Structures are given as C-alpha cells and as structure tokens.
Chain A
Amino acid sequence: MASRLGSLPPQLASTSLHHHRHHLRPPQCSGQASLSWRRAVAPAQLELISVSTSPGKIPKPFSTTAVATSLSQGTPVRPTSILVVGATGTLGRQVVRRALDEGYDVRCLVRPRPAPADFLRDWGATVVNGDLSKPETIPATLVGVHTVIDCATGRPEEPIGTVDWEGKVALIQCAKAMGIQKYVFYSIHNCDKHPEVPLMEIKHCTEKFLQDSGLNYLIIRLCGFMQGLIGQYAVPILEEKSVWGTDAPTRIAYMDTQDVSRLTFIAMRNEKINKELLTFAGPRAWTTQEVITLCERLAGQDANVTTVPVSILKFTRQLTRLFQWTNDVADRLAFSEVLSSDIVFSVPMAETYNLLGVDQKDIVTLERYLQDYFTNILKKLKDLKAQSKQTDIFL
C-alpha cells in the first residue's frame, strides 16, 4: 500500500499541472470550463486504475471504487477523526473549534511557515504540515481520516489557481484513492452564474469535479462572513480611519462563521444528507451602505466614508488586464463585475433549517453580532482608560 501511495503524487501533480495550463484563461464560457475539467478527470482516473491493477488484475471501468474500498478496509478509521484543510482561515478556525468541542479528533493541514499556527495546537488539534500546491505532501496527511473538511482558499497575494484549482484536484483525487468517507467542500453562492470571476469559476469547477469523483460529498455554498466586516468597517470606524465602500446595490446575507460551522457539522452527520449541495445564508441581505450605517449607529460616531463608484473598479480591471504582469490584480478585481449587478447574495433558509432541525432564533443576526462587538470593544477601551487614567490624562 505504501508503494502504491508513493507512486501517486507525481502523477497527480502532472495531470493537474497539465490541466492548469489549459484552464486558467479568463474569461471562459462555462461550456469550455466543463470540457476542461473533464479532460482533467480522464487522465486522473487512468492513473488510479493503473495503480490498482498493478498486482495483475484485468482493468475494469469501475476499479477506482475497488481501490477505495480495499484501502478503507485495511485501516478501519474512527468516525470522529477529521482533517480540516485551511484551518487557519476565518472559517477554518471556527470549524476546528467546533469540531474539538464536539469531541472530534481534529487534524489540521497547515502550510509550513515560520510562525506556526499556535492557537490550533493550544486548542488541542493536531497540526500536520502540508501544502496543497505540493501534491506529494497530501497522502500522508490523509491516513486514518474519516472526513475531510475543506475550507481552504488561496491568499489574495498568490496566483489564484495554485491552491484553489490544482491543490483541490490533487486533494480530491487523493481522498478518493485513499477511501475517505466524506468530503465537505465550501463554495461560493451563485458561483455557477459568474464564470467571468476566476475564483468563482474555480469553485464551480471544483464542485463539478467533486460531484463526479464518486466520493460522498457535501458542498456548502456560502454568501459572506460577518467576521470580515469587523476588519473592513468596524475597526476603521473606531480608529477614525476612512472607510472605503462602493455604491454597488449588491446585497449580501452575511453569516457568523460560528453558525456556519455549527450547521456544517449538523449537516455532515445527517445520514440523509449525502451527495448534496446546500446553500447557507444569513437572516438578511445587506448592502455596503447599510452595513456602514449600522456600524456608525452602534459605534456612536460618524465614519469617513470614501465611496468608490463601481465603474472605476471595472475600469481598473479592464486596464490591468491589458498587461500580463498585472493579470493577478485583474483577477482580484474581478468581483467588480458581480458587484455592478444588483444581485442579492442570499437564499431562503427555511427549508434548510427544517432539514437540519435548526431553529432560526439560534442564528445570529448582523445587528446582534455587531452590537456584541461594539459593546465589548467599547467596554474594553473604557477599562483601558480606567487603567491608564493617571498617565494619559492629557489626552
């Protein structure tokens, strides 16, 4: 088995790389996209078959499943062992925390870096080093794992395809080959409707790739995180820095990542929810302007709002697309295309709540979330003031 696994990674790497060259040429129509991922799947399956038939069996079309079962039978895994990919991210850390609290044994796949993610270890998770952009590091991390929860997304500063496409393809193929029982993947709401945005297109392609992989999967599409609003609006308002917003009419139903992770685990354990695509959205959809107004009200002070028209964003994107060296920048600005439409990033959740057996009252609203934040932060500032009364009286 070890030798089989050992022979996997280079092949996986080559297929995904091979694919990548054809794939990332924005803007693509969805037809082309689906073609290109099919081309990626085909060689990958071939590789797996050749691996499985090395003892001398006759190749059968469905031998990939045979590999998966035989491997999973060899090592019985506990249903409480999970691997979280992207555990240091906004959502990932909440997923890890919730999992630990519910009694799972959590393994976190973390990129080797000089300042390691200490908080994960402090909470009691096991941290393993691996990098999705280096497929040879993946198989070892999957040994003895029952469920993979994938919350990884590339950082803004790196080329968008490395983690989000090549890494994911390698991870899914590896999970399949090693008989992982369930694969939970976080995607973006409406990602099938905006193939012009590279990140969304990649997410959509990954969804399709996962659906065709034969794994037991759960895809969760998300709209926006409340946690992101703190850094974007709440902190600048408190620090009296300028807040940048757009005049876009887009509405996003923000959700607390703690709720996302809670619902994820409920859905994950539900035997009935298998090979399904769920969308999680917050209780209400907000525009940028509404969020800023809410923050101003709760903080008790006005914000310096710098409003950038969406047209400027779009123009900048067009401009940066002209040069090859600014292509990454263009990719990152691609959401301006989405923003300019008055799309609402939200879905009615009643059915999902029903399916999961969750009460809507338990889902945090943005008002309550921000209220909590400002109450706590203002109290903290007050405490600090009390402490430093003697020295800072002048200010």
Chain B
Amino acid sequence: MALRQIYHLETGLRPSSSSSLVGIPVLNPGRLRFKPSPALPLARPRSELGGSEEQGKAEKGDGDAKKGRRKEGVTLDDVNPVGLGRRSRQIFDEVWRKFSGLGQISRSLTDDDDGLLLIRGPMCEFTVPEAQDTTVLVVGATSRIGRIVVRKLMLRGYKVKALVRKADPEVIDMLPRSVSIVVGDVGEPSTLRAAVQGCNKIIYCATARSAITGDLNRVDYQGVCNVTKAFQDYNNQLAQLRAGKSSKSKLLLAKFKSAESLEGWEVRKGTYFQDVVAAKYDGGMDAKFEFTETGDAVFSGYVFTRGGYVELSKKFSLPLGSTLDRYDGLLLSVGGNGKSYILILETGPLADTSQSKLYFARINTKVGFCRVRVPFSSFRPVKPDDPPLDPFLVHTLTIRFEPRRQKLVEAPGANKQDPRSFKLIMEYIKALPAGIETDFILVSCTGSGIESSRRDQVLKAKKAGEDALRRSGLGYTIIRPGPLQEEPGGQRALIFDQGNRISQGISCADVADICVKALHDSTARNKSFDVCYEYVAEQGNELYELVAHLPDKANNYLTPALSVLEKNT
C-alpha cells in the first residue's frame, strides 16, 4: 500500500486520469475500467492513510476483482441490482479478457493502444525534437521530391504548409490531410505573403514544367527571388514588431547620415616599409573623411608612396547587452568605385593596445553602391600564429586602402582610373545576425541528364535563382542533385561534392532526406553542394576517391559529409 501511495504522490495523478492524459492505452472504459468511487483507497483523505496499511496489503494481494466487490454496501446506489449486475459483468469481462489474452501469441492492439508515445512521441524512430516548434513551407509540394519531403516532414512531426498553384481535388488528395494548403504562385509576389506567414523554414523544390525560357525564368529564377523576398519581408516584419530585439534583426554599428555621425572616426597613414629614403622621392599620400554637401560620407585620398596605405578606424561603442559573438559577419553598404579595401578588426583588452591582435579580410567593391557581406570566418590573423578571430573581443574596426593589388577597373567613361587614388562613399555598417540553422533549402540541379539543347538555358535560370538566394541574406542550403531516379531511398552510398564533378543519378527519396536532415544541421547553413550516388568504378579505372556516405537510421551522414565542404560558395 505504501508503495502505491508514494507512486501517486509522485505523479500527482490518479491511475485512470494518468492514462488518458499521457496517452497510454485506454481500452474501452465501459468494459474494463472501474469508475473511481469514494470508497476506493486512492481518493481517501490523507489522515486515513496511516491506518489503512493492513487493508491495503490484503487488497494488493487480491487484485482488481475483489476491489470491485468491496464497494458493495457503501452507499445505497451500490446495492442497486442493475448497477451490481452491470459491474459484475464488467469484472467478468475484464477477467475474461485477460484470461483469454494469455492464450494468445499475437495480440492485435486496439487503435489507441500505441498511444502518443509510440506513434508521435519519443519512442518513434523518426521523431525530431525540434520538429514540434517548426513550421516548414514546401514550395512545389507536388513535385517528385516535394511529395516525399512533405511525407517525411509529417512523419517527423513538423507543421507543414504547402504552396500549390490550384486547390484541385486531386492535388489536395495527394497531400497528407493535416498539411495546410496555401494557394499561390511563385511568379506572383502578392500571393506569397500569406504563404510565408508563420513559417520558420522554406524548402523550395519547385521546378519549371517545361524548358521554355519564360517558364524557367518564372519558376527557377523569379520564383526563388519572390519567395526569398517575401520571407525576408516577413522576417523583417517580425524584427520590427519586436523592436530590434528579434534574433533576426541586424545590429547597426555605424550609420553615416549626418556630419556628427563621422565623429570618432580617425584617418591614419602608414607604410609597410621602414624605408625612409624611398619615401622622400615619391609623391606621398593623403586622405580625408568628410561629410559632403550632397549628404554623403566620403573617405577619399591618394597613396603614391610605395608600400604606403591610409586607413579609417573607429572604436566600437556597442549598445549594452549586445556583443558581436552573436553575429555572423559584417554588412557594409558602400560606394567604392570598384576598388578593393582591407577590413581590419582589432581584438584584445581595450586598456592595453599593445596586446591587440589584428585580423584582416579583403573586400571588393563594385562600380556604384553595393552591399558587401563579410563573414567573421573570412578574417585571417595578421600574425599567422594568432588564434582565429573571436568576434566577442573585437573593439576596433579599420578600413584600409592600399594601392597594392588593385584591379584596374574600366570606368564607365573609358578614362582609366589611377589605381593609387580612391573614393569610398559610406552609407552604413551593420552586423549580421548569426543563424545556426539554414532558413531556405533550394533544390537546384547539376545539369547532367538534361537534354543538351536546353541545358544552358536551364542551368542559367537555376544559377540565377541560386545567386538570388545567396544574396538574400537568408541562411541557405543549395542542393544540386544528379539526375533524379524514382527509387526508394537509403539504398546506396552518396557523394557530396562541390564543383561539378559528379556523374551519377540519385533517388528522389534521398534528396528529400537530405532536405529534411539539413533543416537542423548547422553544417548545412550557407552551403551549396552537389550530391549523387557513389560512382562505382570499373576495375582498374578508379580515378579518384570521394568520401561516400551511406544514409541510414543510425548514422547522421549529413554532418560529416558537409562539414568538410566550404561555406558561401
């Protein structure tokens, strides 16, 4: 008795209610469950507990049947012959069910016997812990890959939205019933707003139905543009709603909109050589940072000295509570006229700059205004022995111009620019929020297996779509599968590679599996890769070996496969 009471103290539940809440099988209640009555010991007030020790022991030994009988005579209701008869029948049924159950080897379970725990809960091999809080929009849910993606997502417990062009009965029949269907067209930006509402991630596996250029452009390029744009708009809207506190909002480091905003920025000059003699004979250097009458902040000047440079630098004053380690990289909006610059980050204790470590990254600008994304991972230490950059410690940002290694850019007026002078118009510098996971998975193609007459057009559209996605600022994963095959997945080893070297096909199901696995895999963020079946070389013809990965239940093949691939390619 003591044991049972403790159990219920722990759980805080009656046996009957526990089963219905947790989803343990509740068989037909009328047939086999006793209704909890005041006479049952479980509902007894605490004061009685001590004295009921002996009673409890006896009862424990006797089992359920006796418990039922003990209720007799407690209230008038219980002696009602009809009630008695019904109850004794329940008892008999229960006993008989158990008894006859013993004589069987295979038991067929009733519908709810497996319960939540086994079908959707942690006991199911497919369940993904993050799935419950994630809504995925599948664009192209009725395509060969999309169909399987939707099913896989449903099995894993995701909330799924499917974008379809028309809500035809046969389309709806094709999709699982709890998928929420949004009618829209990737070619029509206005129809996408509702589709991205409430979504955390997007899997784009729509392809053009024909190789007509207009179709290709509409789906493979414009479609990706429109969906990324709608998704970014939605994210920005969330960021605004949360007043910049959202994890999606960028951190403003500097905005050059007034003369005051230039305060704190220092212009410095220097040379790489301590060669005083040489400096005497060349033209020297000069630079200034000023706010022009047209409202631009301009950093301009010239460097004629061999090995000389000029730089613009500022110590950060970050808002309280925000540190750069939660960010992924820098975003600069500048007009650099095609010159290249070097960004330098200084880390270390503020008080003692002699201990500072310097990290640099080279950026290229375009003619006119452009936005440059520089991930922190692309910064290299100036001294090769220093540890990799830790964004948390960064305190100073420097933009350096040097005439070395400048590309000669053909300016629009065909007059050659002097590589030694520069003019950099600055608009803002922001820190890009770090994302751990990918936001947008695009299924593209490798181009093999397409009839050669249309291959270029198809690839052009796909490439344009990929580029649009990369520029969008979303965390992306671009999968380029080999020619698709209608085969069950998980059969053959897969090869992940970058750089157009693959030759084999791949099953739709494997591509779908990669999509679903990539959703929560940090190594998949901001990567593009080709994937196909392992190439089985004929004896003696082995050219090179790629690491192959066999998809399986037990191993997560994706992480090791992707971690060796390069980001931002």
Contacts and interface: CB of A to CB of B under 8 A. Distances in A.
A binds B: yes
Contact of A199 (B60, B106, B175, B554): B106
B108 A156 contact: yes
Contact of A389 (B12, B126, B152, B554): B12
A388 B12 contact: yes
B109 interface: yes
B224 interface: no
B8 interface: yes
Nearest to A194: B105
Interface string A364-394: 0000000011001100111011001100111
A119 B111 CA distance: 10
A334 B121 contact: no
Contacts of A199: 106
Contact of A156 (B104, B113, B510): B104
A302 B108 contact: no
Greatest chain A CB density within 10 A among B10, B61, B105 is at B105
Nearest to B108: A155
Contacts of A224: 105-106
B276 interface: no
A22 interface: no
Contacts of B155: 97, 100-101, 123-124
Contact of A102 (B4, B8, B488): B488
Contact of A392 (B3, B13, B123, B489): B13
A16 interface: no
Interface string A72-104: 000000111000000011100100010011111
A268 to B, nearest CB: 9
B364 to A, nearest CB: 43
Given A80-B487, A102-B509, A301-B7, A188 B106 contact: yes
Contacts of B487: 79-80, 103
Interface in A297-316: 301-302, 304, 306, 308, 313, 316
Interface size class of A (residues with CB under 8 A): 35 or more
Q: Which of B14, B24, B106, B109 has the most CB atoms of chain A within a 10 A radius of its CB? A: B106
B63 interface: yes
Interface in B55-103: 60-61, 63-64, 98-103
Interface in B116-146: 117-119, 121-126
A333 B6 CA distance: 38
A376 B109 contact: no
Interface in B12-40: 12-15, 18-19, 21-22, 24-25
Nearest to B16: A239
A59 interface: no
A64 interface: no
Contact of A242 (B12, B25, B63): B63
Nearest to B554: A362
**B3, B15, B22, B150 — which one has the most chain A CB atoms within 10 A of its CB?**
B22
Interface in B125-183: 125-126, 147-148, 150-152, 154-155, 173, 175-178
Contacts of B8: 395
Nearest to A241: B64
- Among B104, B178, B491, B554, which residue has the most Cβ atoms of chain A within 10 A? B104
Nearest to B555: A362
B16 to A, nearest CB: 8
Interface stretch (A33-41, A207-215, A244-252, A278-286): A244-252
B100 A329 contact: yes
B107 interface: yes
B96 to A, nearest CB: 9
Nearest to A258: B125
Contacts of B113: 90, 230-231
Contacts of A188: 105-106
B48 to A, nearest CB: 13
Interface string B490-517: 1100000000000000011110110000
Nearest to B551: A102
B553 interface: yes
B46 interface: yes
A19 to B, nearest CB: 24
Between B4, B119, B121, B488, the greatest number of chain A beta carbons within 10 A of the residue's beta carbon is seen for B488
A244 B106 contact: no
A107 interface: no
B274 interface: no
B453 interface: no
B25 A231 contact: yes
Nearest to B510: A103
A384 B12 contact: yes
A244 B102 contact: yes
A239 B64 CA distance: 12
Contacts of B410: none
B24 A235 contact: yes
Nearest to B63: A242
Contact of B9 (A100, A240, A262, A395): A395
Interface in A310-359: 313, 316-317, 329, 332-336, 338-339, 345
B104 A332 contact: yes
Given A100-B155, A385-B11, A389-B12, A376 B117 contact: yes
Contacts of A252: 105
A253 B18 CA distance: 31
Contact of B107 (A119, A122, A231, A262): A231
B151 A123 contact: yes
A345 B106 CA distance: 12
A389 B10 CA distance: 10
A269 interface: yes
B99 A265 contact: no
A119 B119 contact: yes
Most A-side CB within 10 Å, residue of B14, B60, B118: B118
Contacts of B488: 79-80, 102-104, 265, 269
Interface in A101-128: 101-104, 115, 117-119, 121-124, 126
Given A380-B117, A381-B18, A385-B11, A122 B176 contact: yes
Contact of A238 (B24, B64, B107, B111): B24
A227 B105 contact: no
B22 A380 contact: yes
Nearest to A82: B488
B114 interface: yes
A242 B68 CA distance: 13
Contacts of B293: none
Interface of A: 78-80, 88-90, 93, 97, 100-104, 115, 117-119, 121-124, 126, 153, 155-156, 188, 199, 224-225, 227-228, 230-232, 235, 238-242, 244-246, 252, 258, 262, 265, 269, 301-302, 304, 306, 308, 313, 316-317, 329, 332-336, 338-339, 345, 362, 372-373, 376-377, 380-382, 384-385, 388-389, 392-395
16 contacts: A79-B488, A80-B486, A80-B488, A90-B113, A97-B126, A101-B155, A102-B488, A103-B148, A121-B177, A225-B106, A228-B109, A231-B25, A232-B107, A238-B24, A240-B4, A381-B13
Closest 10 CB pairs of A and B: A103-B509, A124-B151, A333-B103, A242-B63, A385-B12, A124-B176, A392-B12, A244-B98, A239-B15, A102-B488
Given A103-B507, A245-B102, 12 more contacts: A101-B151, A103-B508, A124-B147, A153-B106, A232-B107, A239-B15, A258-B125, A301-B7, A339-B103, A377-B22, A393-B12, A395-B8
